Amino acid sequence: MPPVIYHNPRCGTSRNTLAMLKQAGAEPEVIEYLKTPPSRKTLEKLIKDSGLSVRDVLRKKGSPYEELGLEDEKWTDAQLLDFMEEHPILMNRPIVVTDKGTRLCRPSEVLLEILSEEQIGAFTKEDGEIVIPAKS
């Protein structure tokens, strides 16, 4: 199964994660989730498979999180999912699915939990931070 990445090309973390996938030789299915949001069923599965809570996957910065008052504990998971369906920008990214698991790759190094360094090789983020040093 090729990896799947729920991607936002405007996000540096998402771009770095996609670059790591490609460097590993993967031809991932790239889903720009703002253009093609996942269905509720898919979103629920992504969250469950990642081992995170619905709240863990909510994006706070650069989204309507504060305006909607989503920090309030009164919101149930079902209600938070409703908000994520209505406002896909509330889904934190990138979420990557491989045959080894599903992860919210923030930071992008979390990808190493479901792909090995050997698969990726030496990798430097676009800001110059070394993720995997070159072997001597």
> Looking at the annotation, which residues are catalytic?
11
30 near 38, Cβ under 8 Å? no
Task: Give the CA distances from residue 115 to residues 81, 102, 106, 110, in Å, rounded to whole numbers and listed in that order.
Answer: 28, 11, 15, 9
CA-closest candidate to residue 59, choices 33, 90, 37, 38: 90
Across the strands, what pairs with 97?
A: 4, 102
Cα 19 off chain centre by: 13
